[in-house]
Amino acid sequence: MSKGVEQPNIVLIMADQLAPHFTGAYGNSVVKTPHIDALAARGMRFDAAYCNSPLCAPSRFSFMSGQHISRIAAYDNASEFPASIPTFAHYLKMMGYRTCLSGKMHFVGPDQMHGFDERVTTDIYPSDYAWTPDWELPDERIDKWYHNMQTVKEAGLGAATFQIDYDDEVAFFAKRRIFNYARDEDTPFCMVASFIHPHDPYVARQEWWDLYQPEDIDMPAYVLEPEQHDGFSRRVMDGIEASTIALTDEEIRRARHAYYANVSYFDSKVGELVQTIEEAGMMDQTIFIITADHGDMLGERGLWYKMNFFEHSARVPLVMAGPGISQGVASNPCSLVDILPTMLDFAAQDGTEKPALGMAIDGRSLMPLANGKSDPVEEAIGEYCAEMTGHPVFMIRRGALKYIACEGDAPLLYDVIADPMETRNLAEDPAYASQAQAFADEVARRWNSQELRANVIATQKQRRAIHAAMEAGAAEPWDYNPPRDASREYVRNNMDWTVAAERYRFPKT
């Protein structure tokens, strides 16, 4: 991109729990994702993009702020996202953008905007401290909200679910807002449309289920018995009850069938938004970014959901397409903290000055890679400080190697290019002794695991105390209630209906 080009609109479409492995764009021959495929075909596909924490809220807070979770205390799904942390929405506003969030971002705390001009839907999950884990009781299951195998066992068909209701609403209001931008405003906009699918429960509508035949659904390629797992994976397996509740092949196949169907459902929403931008006459001015907050193991290694740093859980799709974006594939490891500086570079292409950063960020701009240029950086950093562990878990992906470490566990080292299923732990391989030691030394330099653990436990105690008081009625709920004044919508007695008809019609006659 060169200076002098007008600021592009940015439409970022986020899935929840979508591993890139389960999309046609990334080479899956079973899963049907024609709309994501089309964007990848005309844009840049990032083949080694990672979340910075494989859990919903921490990943999203990191993504919005461009900072790792340990810097902003975004430890788990009940960690507060403080209003004092700048996000890309704040910075884009200072660069002349209108900003809108439609859908999920799992903000926890009284600030439910975080720089967006407007939110057009509520969130789907609680905004309070209800989901706070207890690292002093790491083996305790919180049955009210912990995952278990019942979700897999109950996978199948449904005409309606809370997730379908929600995503239909997210798409509807996002499309309406895009047309309002086209009707009324000349300034560029950033729209974030964030969907809950294909996150479990694995329940799909018939129309999407019928895209797949049961015999076409592949089974997990690499499965371990509970005793074969590394220490952290075994704790996750115990926590989700996968080590004690057996699944039949039919149950696994049905869950994967429903997940694939819901990936296609999410892809249809991508198609709806792309079509809306096209109908609004904005295709030549709009950059699309497709991504997710984390992936889903979907039975690989015998694990389900996320909460670990194996490829199906920690990697995310990342596709960019639009004006100035080259056509191709970028193999450099990168992560969601890189989205903020990338957006700012997109917004500054017309010469607009970027605002001073309110806090140091951990990400780098992916604009050179998006433009088809080289990037000397090949790194992604991950941290996990949530349920089913009692100590922080760290990941470093650099080049072809991925290193995973947690105090008390044996380290893991994989060459994910030569061994994409991560079947061979190289940490004790003499041929990789120098690399393993270098990673171990880097982990010790980057993080003070004991200090971070103490900070996590301290915030957990604070939040549990406040949540107990809120449960007793000590505060108003923080859940977002979108403002709406129906008395001023459509046609009312204080207006000429012909004027209203002309105002709503697009394009104008």
Which residues are catalytic, by number?
56, 106
DSSP H or E stretch at residue 181:
helix 162-184
Query: End-to-end alpha-carbon separation of the chain, Å?
Result: 34
Rounded Cα distance between 134 and 142, Å, is: 10
Rounded Cα distance between 34 and 32, Å, is: 6
Q: Which residue has the tokens 């193991």?
A: 297
Q: Say which amino acid occupies 388.
A: M
Rounded Cα distance between 492 and 471, Å, is: 42
Please, where are the H alpha helices in 196-336?
Answer: 206-209, 231-239, 249-279, 311-314
Output DSSP code: residue 17. S
Q: In a 3-state reduction of DSSP, which class is residue 45?
A: strand
The backbone torsions φ and ψ at residue 126, rounded to the nearest 5 degrees and listed phi first, read -60, 150
Q: Which residue has the tokens 């507060």?
A: 80
Rounded Cα distance between 426 and 503, Å, is: 64
Cβ neighbours for 49, distance < 8 A, ≥ 6 positions apart: 20, 291, 315, 316, 317, 318, 333, 334, 335, 336, 380
How does DSSP assign 417-476, residue by residue? Answer: TT-TT-----TT-GGGHHHHHHHHHHHHHH--HHHHHHHHHHHHHHHHHHHHHHHTT-S-
Cβ neighbours for 315, distance < 8 A, ≥ 6 positions apart: 19, 20, 21, 48, 49, 50, 51, 295
Tell which residue, 174, 169, 121, 202, has the closest CA to residue 13: 174
Whether 436 contacts 426, CB under 8 Å: yes
Longest CA–CA span in the chain (Å) reads 81
Enter the tokens of residue 139: 């083996």
Rounded Cα distance between 61 and 72, Å, is: 8
Whether 154 contacts 178, CB under 8 Å: no
Enter the tokens of residue 89: 């929405």
Cβ neighbours for 421, distance < 8 A, ≥ 6 positions apart: 221, 222, 300, 311
